[in-house]
Structure 1
């Protein structure tokens, strides 16, 4: 299979596609790691006072761990869409999709980490705060879901232009 180069398919377009896949996974994992670490500290501190609440208090760390899966899914979809005949339009769509998922998951991870840390500590002192903490965590996770939805739409959006020499550019 030969590599085709034209105005709509320059040889450097794969760079943007691979950057989309990488940014999807990297930023989502940053968010996941931060959320897990921050909420995990709260679980450890709370576990000293009330060891019976440890399992119930791991919900924020589980929610933070899901963020990395979002980035992985979109990175795989983007990676599968990168071929030798790769239009410029697709490369930019894949970059935008990866950035949507990555940055949305990063923001959600920061939210989940901060709320999870404070929430599990507060829940140890006042059990009635559990539902409130859970609602705030769900709203934080929704930020990542918005990014995944838009990222998937962008990652699966393809150009009908074929990469052939002399193909129309409009």
Structure 2
């Protein structure tokens, strides 16, 4: 019997958000309506060989409620969400390490590679970061280029900039790299 995933749509300041949870309420994927195809592609890759069905729902999950509170300024609302991902061991290691980047701060892809004790894996780290199925909650947007430029966000660089500014405004912290980067590339 295929696994059932529930798909919700919710309005945010950055556009309509797509939230995928399982029947136990664990967050499985999060992306934007204008990147819906990317969300489905990532899920197909994550759950390759596993049968699943995605069903639309209007019922608000705990995950959607938490993410909406995050957009309202409650930065801690998303920190304890139950999540579950597929992916490779390496991807899951990168995603787990992303969770250690404090809200309102950024690190470079090189620093992320150092944190997983594989400093030569900068490109692989970037690819794993880009394959993150649960944006915002697993904060891939907090990773920037070594030159402090905004690079590589699946939801688009304007969203990445907005998320970083939103977090900084609600945590009143400087980033590890000083002021938030304002250069889009």
* Higher-helix-fraction structure: 1
Q: Which has the higher contact order (CA 8 A, sep 6+)?
A: 1
Which TM-score applies when normalising by structure 1? 0.26
| Higher Cα radius of gyration | 1
Which TM-score applies when normalising by structure 2? 0.24
